[in-house]
Amino acid sequence: MKWRVMAVLMAVTLLVLLVQDIPLSTYLRQSEQDRITTSLERDAFLLAGRGEQALESGTTGDYAAITTMARTYQKSGGARVIITDADGTAIFSGDADDTVVGSSYKSRPEIATALTGQIATGTRYSHTLAQSLLYVAVPVLSGTNVYGAVRLTYPESVVANAVNSQLQLLVVAALTSVLLAGIVGYLLSTTITQSLGRLRSVTERIADGSLGDRADTAKGAGELRSLARSFNSMTDRLHTLIDQQRAFAADASHQLRTPLTALRLRLERAEELASVDPAGSAERLAAAQTEVDRLSDIIEGLLRLSRAEAADIPTEVVDVAAVARERVEEWSALAQDSGVRMSYRGPDRAPALAVPTAAQQIIDNYIDNALSVSPEGSLLEVVVTEEGRTVTVAVRDEGPGMRDEELARAFDRFWRAAGQQGDGGSGLGLAIVAQLAAASGGSVALARRESGGTEARVTLPAARATTPRGATGRRDKSDRGEKS
């Protein structure tokens, strides 16, 4: 990855420079040619102006002044000079070979154009000099009369050399830019690869079973730190799920071992008594059926708990007051059979957020537990209160109450109070209640009442104060549960 990032940055930089410098080189060449042409026109007009009087008089003595001036200009590093009279005959020539004074230049297009009173500029190839020349030819004017022409020629290679020297600077700047882009790409890619390397190392350690490792969220670019935080959140969630699976497997194996052993022993005993004591065999089979029912209750409770823990479920708005009144009405008939009075106290409406059916299941479990310990003639009260951003449901009984250690462990999986050890309960009821409340963003609690009995509470987010949350709801990390 490191070399790919470097190559990409260098390639992009080079492409940008090429797109910029190719038109720039053409512009520089044209600008340099225009500059030299303008300079030659200025020099040609200067020579023409100084030689005007001599050409107008037409005397040989006056030509000497023009010759001296032209020779001085050419020796000073100027262009090659040709000066002709009105007939196109050279009166001065800076050419070294066959172009001599007295030769006719009228056949040269640029000279012919200048003798008509116009300026001629351009480039042409000189067979004499075997190179391309940049030329300027101007007329020698006095009013409207043309008395001769001045032509200056300049090697086109000089223009190319001037442009090339500037292009060399551009090439050096371009190569420096590409090199700097490579260095920046190397440093950038090194930072990225180091952060990704650390993240990969953590991933490999977690894959090897070290679930306590976490990615470093303090180093690297902002995007990589955000990725590390997301990775840590995923790892936390994964760790929680694995712990839940381990706890589920441990709880299931522990709780199923005893009824399975009892069931096997009863079936073996029933088989032994089948031929000699049919009544005893039937009694053992009935006991085995009881163990089967107990197994069924435990398995069903484990499955409900597993479903509650397995995935985040979106919450919905629930009228807790209406649900509480409905559950009181449903349980009233059973309460009357037990000699227990039931009542509801609270507002007409109390909208809260909860996962589907959570409010019904929680209240049902609390009422079921309370009825099992409520003495005849006592009152079982369901109270709904709204406090700021929460809605609380409290189920209050007048039973014997619970000790401090029992209150502390009541939400543990498979835990049952001393008087409930043989009642056949699965010990998962309150654990499921706690998980449903956590999935809804709420909490549960048990407290001893001053007047006697127990108060079981569930607190849920009020719908007026918050919005439903989706699949990222909170989870109860303590993994504590309750049993009925």
Residue 228 · residue 199 · CB < 8 Å:
yes
How much is the average pLDDT of 242-268?
69
pLDDT, residue 419, reads 52
Residue 83 · residue 66 · CB < 8 Å:
yes
Is residue 469 very low, low, confident or very high in pLDDT (cuts 50, 70, 90)?
very low
The token pair at 319 is: 């009228």
More confident residue, 139 or 242: 139
Q: Which of 23-32, 157-166, 249-258 has the lowest mean pLDDT?
A: 249-258
Residue from 371, 360, 368 nearest 325 by CA? 360
Q: Which of 161-170, 225-234, 394-403, 452-461 has the lowest mean pLDDT?
A: 161-170
How much is the average pLDDT of 23-32?
76
pLDDT over 80 (residue 386):
yes
| Beta carbons within 8 Å of 202's beta carbon, 6+ residues apart | 213, 214, 215, 231
pLDDT over 60 (residue 249):
yes
pLDDT, residue 262, reads 67
pLDDT, residue 250, reads 67
More confident residue, 214 or 466: 214
pLDDT, residue 417, reads 63
Distance CA 81, CA 51 (A): 13
Is residue 337 very low, low, confident or very high in pLDDT (cuts 50, 70, 90)?
confident
pLDDT over 50 (residue 474):
no
Average pLDDT of the chain, as a whole number: 78
pLDDT, residue 96, reads 53
pLDDT in tens, 78-109: 678 888 888 888 888 776 544 567 788 888 88
Q: Which residues of 93-120 are buried (b: 16+ CB within 10 A; e: fewer)?
A: bbbeeeeeeeeebeebebbbbbbeeeeb
Is residue 353 very low, low, confident or very high in pLDDT (cuts 50, 70, 90)?
very high
Amino acid identity of residue 365, one-letter, is N
More confident residue, 180 or 18: 180
Q: Which of 158-172, 302-316, 342-356, 424-438 has the lowest mean pLDDT?
A: 302-316
pLDDT, residue 475, reads 36
pLDDT, residue 78, reads 64
pLDDT over 60 (residue 240):
yes
Is residue 267 very low, low, confident or very high in pLDDT (cuts 50, 70, 90)?
confident
Q: Which of 69-83, 236-250, 380-394 has the lowest mean pLDDT?
A: 236-250
pLDDT over 50 (residue 480):
no
pLDDT over 60 (residue 426):
no
**Bridge pairing between strands 341-345 and 145-155:** unpaired
pLDDT, residue 190, reads 73
Q: Which of 114-128, 199-213, 465-479 has the lowest mean pLDDT?
A: 465-479
pLDDT, residue 210, reads 77
pLDDT, residue 275, reads 77
**Bridge pairing between strands 390-396 and 454-461:** antiparallel
pLDDT over 90 (residue 392):
yes
pLDDT in tens, 103-114: 888 888 888 898
pLDDT over 70 (residue 128):
no
More confident residue, 31 or 366: 366
How much is the average pLDDT of 308-322?
78
How much is the average pLDDT of 415-436?
65
pLDDT, residue 317, reads 94
Between the alpha carbon of residue 47 and those of residues 44, 58, 64, 156, the distances in Å are 5, 16, 14, 22
Is residue 465 very low, low, confident or very high in pLDDT (cuts 50, 70, 90)?
very low
Residue 134 · residue 41 · CB < 8 Å:
no
Is residue 382 very low, low, confident or very high in pLDDT (cuts 50, 70, 90)?
very high
How much is the average pLDDT of 264-287?
78
- Residue 53 buriedness (CB in 10 A; 0-12 / 13-18 / 19+): middle
pLDDT, residue 352, reads 95
Is residue 459 very low, low, confident or very high in pLDDT (cuts 50, 70, 90)?
very high
Is residue 298 very low, low, confident or very high in pLDDT (cuts 50, 70, 90)?
low
How much is the average pLDDT of 355-363?
87
- Cα within 13 Å of Cα(224), Cβ side: 18
Above pLDDT 90, what percent of the chain?
A: 15
How much is the average pLDDT of 460-475?
56
pLDDT, residue 473, reads 39
